[in-house]
């Protein structure tokens, strides 16, 4: 079963902000007493904390998906939503945080250091907070902003003062067990440590940590064996202790050849920029297992060669504890020297100055992209993207409020300068984003239309005087009289006949004939 993990990939999802509430206060005799919708609560952040009590990333190996608490919804009667709790993820001191592309984000090498890996969403405002002197009772509220999503890689680099370097089964685990209270796995058969073990050593007034890291083999700098998994744990150590096995039974191996291979692999490993190469750091040599007669004889034989290379040599035995006291004091002196030098570098380190955002910093940018259906104008910026996420597009009043906010930010003027026309496709946000068919306001439309034609809404209009209106009326009446006269002359000339007039004439002639017949009958009767 896995007990130590020094690299893990985390998938973080911060909580969403709570939605604001749209509510109107209703009381007896006051059915519409004004807006009283509360604000939504902010969501919790996901924070990485360097904890000295944590030594492994095993917890996140089994639970790589982490999510913080969302904010509560706003309610009526001016009740705001609850704030989501932050999710703190304790990690070992010495954890390096990288993004999904492998770029270093932060190095948590100091106990208590905190880093916000995913920021929680902001809660939306209720209609009570949106009320103004002109908008006394808003019929909408803002939605909560979704939380950040992040994919990060945690890489553990053991923070220790001294690193034990040597071949597998050289006795490093036995040495750390003999010098400290650590209880690493030790057996009477050849095997290699699979994960670092830390131990605290007290030598007089010196107190330092010592790391038993996995064994090193030839080709480790190229990834053979545990390879880079071993070497990255050596980066942070102040000093190195080369543990050489003087009682090995493997053919072709001896302390000098083992040291040459180890130094070659250390020299081939590239440390991060600004750190001292591994071969240039203070180092001691421990000739181990001198409790064996043949091993002591070999240690006496190679001691002179090692000292001629500039190494300080100690003959030790983890069984009889021979030489361990002197070795502890020597390592303590190296650690104290390294700490003093590091303190001077810390004092000379350039301070980080946090400055406010520049006044002339643009809150957004517009990118022109070519698409299948024409030019696309993409708007990128934290403010417009957050405003779009807060808008309920099913509410026309909320959409109008968004339009006013974007116009005040200067987006419409920027679109005009970018060459956008009425009906152009505008996308706010990266990826799919929120798509709009841009319809400029009157002020922006004036700039668009005057550049490419005329707008009848902007043409100058003058009102006619009373005399002009009277003259136009008389002219219109004269034109109608002339038209009637012309029609009458054409009718008299027989060019056309009006069916109604002919029918009326026939009726009048029939009536006259009937009257004449009636008169003749009366005379005959007399």
Token pair, residue 511, equals: 């009536």
Annotated ligand binding at 290? The verdict is yes
Angle between helix 411-418 and 396-409 (nearest 10): 70
Three-state secondary structure readout of 246-274:
CCCCCCCCCHHHHHHHHHHHHHHCCCCCC
* Residue 132 backbone zone (phi > 0: left; psi -120 to 50: alpha; other: beta): beta
Is residue 340 classed exposed, middle or buried when 0-12, 13-18 and 19+ CB atoms within 10 A define those classes? exposed
Q: Is 354 exposed, middle or buried (0-12, 13-18, 19+ CB in 10 A)?
A: exposed
Is 195 part of any known ligand binding site?
A: yes
Confirm whether residue 171 is marked as ligand binding. yes
Which residues contact residue 401 at a Cβ distance below 8 angstroms, ignoring those fewer than 6 apart? 130, 138, 140, 391
Residue 383 labelled as part of a binding site: no
**Is 166 labeled as ligand-binding?**
yes
317 is in an annotated binding site: yes
Q: Which tokens in the block code for residue 217?
A: 């083999």
Please answer whether residues 195 and 372 qualify as being in contact, where contact means their C-beta atoms are separated by less than 8 angstroms.
Answer: no
Q: Establish whether 288 is an annotated binding residue.
A: yes
318 is in an annotated binding site: yes
- Report how far residue 226's alpha carbon sits from residue 462's, in angstroms, rounded to the nearest whole number: 90
Q: What single string gives the DSSP state of each residue in 98-149?
A: EETTS-EEEEE-STT-EEEEEPPPPPPPPHHHH--SS-SS-S--PPPPPPPE
191 is in an annotated binding site: yes
Sequence-ordered list of residues with C-beta below 8 angstroms from that of 2, at least 6 positions apart, any chain: 58, 61
Neighbouring-strand partners of residue 277: none
Q: Annotation-wise, does 168 bind a ligand?
A: yes
Annotated ligand binding at 214? The verdict is: yes
Residue 193 marked ligand-binding:
yes
Structure tokens at 36: 């009283």
> What is the maximum alpha-carbon separation in the chain?
185
Residue 192 in marked binding region = yes
**Residue 136 annotated as binding site:** no
Give the annotated binding-site residues: 166-173, 191-195, 212-215, 288-291, 317-319
Give the annotated binding-site residues for GTP: 166-173, 191-195, 212-215, 288-291, 317-319
Give the annotated binding-site residues for Mg(2+): 173, 193
């Amino acid at each position: 079963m896995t007990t130590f993990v020094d690299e893990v990939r985390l998938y973080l999802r911060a909580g969403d902000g709570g939605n604001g509430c749209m509510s109107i206060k209703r009381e007896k005799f006051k059915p519409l007493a004004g807006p009283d919708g509360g604000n939504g609560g902010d969501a919790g952040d996901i924070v990485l904390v360097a904890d000295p009590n944590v030594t492994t990333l095993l917890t996140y190996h089994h639970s790589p998906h982490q999510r913080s608490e969302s904010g509560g919804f706003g309610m009526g009667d001016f009740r705001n939503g609850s704030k989501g709790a932050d999710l703190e993820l304790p990690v070992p001191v010495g954890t390096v945080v990288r993004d999904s592309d492998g770029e270093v984000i932060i190095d948590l090498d100091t106990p208590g250091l905190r880093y916000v890996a995913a920021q929680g969403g902001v809660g939306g405002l209720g209609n009570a907070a949106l009320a103004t002197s002109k908008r006394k009772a808003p019929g909408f509220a803002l939605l909560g902003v979704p939380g950040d999503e992040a994919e990060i890689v945690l890489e553990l680099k053991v923070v220790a003062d001294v690193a034990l370097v040597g071949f597998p089964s050289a006795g490093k685990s036995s040495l750390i067990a003999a010098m400290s209270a650590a209880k690493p796995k030790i057996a009477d058969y050849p095997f290699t440590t699979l994960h670092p073990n830390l131990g605290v050593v007290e030598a007089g007034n010196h107190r330092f940590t010592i790391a038993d890291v996995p064994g090193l083999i030839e080709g480790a700098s190229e990834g053979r064996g545990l390879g880079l998994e071993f070497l990255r744990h050596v980066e942070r150590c102040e000093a190195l202790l080369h543990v050489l096995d003087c009682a090995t039974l493997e053919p072709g191996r001896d302390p000098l050849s083992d040291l040459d291979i180890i130094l070659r692999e250390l020299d081939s490993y590239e440390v991060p920029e600004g750190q001292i190469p591994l071969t240039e750091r203070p180092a001691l040599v421990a000739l181990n297992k001198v409790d064996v007669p043949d091993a002591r004889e070999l240690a006496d034989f190679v001691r002179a060669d090692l000292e001629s290379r500039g190494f300080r040599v100690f003959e030790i035995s983890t069984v009889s504890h021979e030489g361990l006291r002197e070795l502890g004091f020597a390592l303590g002196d190296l650690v104290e020297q390294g700490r003093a030098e590091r303190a001077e570098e810390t004092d000379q380190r350039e301070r980080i100055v946090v400055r406010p955002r520049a006044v002339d910093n643009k809150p957004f940018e517009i990118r022109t992209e070519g698409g299948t259906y024409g030019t696309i104008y993409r708007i990128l910026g934290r403010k417009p993207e957050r405003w779009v996420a807060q808008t309920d597009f099913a509410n026309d009043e909320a959409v109008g409020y968004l339009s006013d906010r974007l116009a005040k930010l200067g987006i419409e003027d920027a679109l005009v300068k970018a060459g956008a026309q009425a009906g152009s496709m505008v996308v706010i946000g990266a990826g799919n984003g929120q798509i709009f068919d841009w319809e400029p306001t009157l002020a922006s439309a004036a700039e668009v239309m005057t550049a490419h034609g005329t707008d009848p809404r902007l043409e100058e209009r003058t009102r006619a005087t009373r005399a002009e209106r009277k003259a136009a009326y008389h002219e219109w009446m004269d034109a109608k009289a002339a038209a009637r006269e012309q029609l009458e002359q054409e009718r008299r000339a027989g060019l056309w006949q009006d069916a109604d007039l002919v029918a009326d004439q026939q009726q009048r002639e029939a009536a006259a004939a009937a009257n004449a017949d009636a008169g003749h009958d009366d005379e005959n009767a007399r």
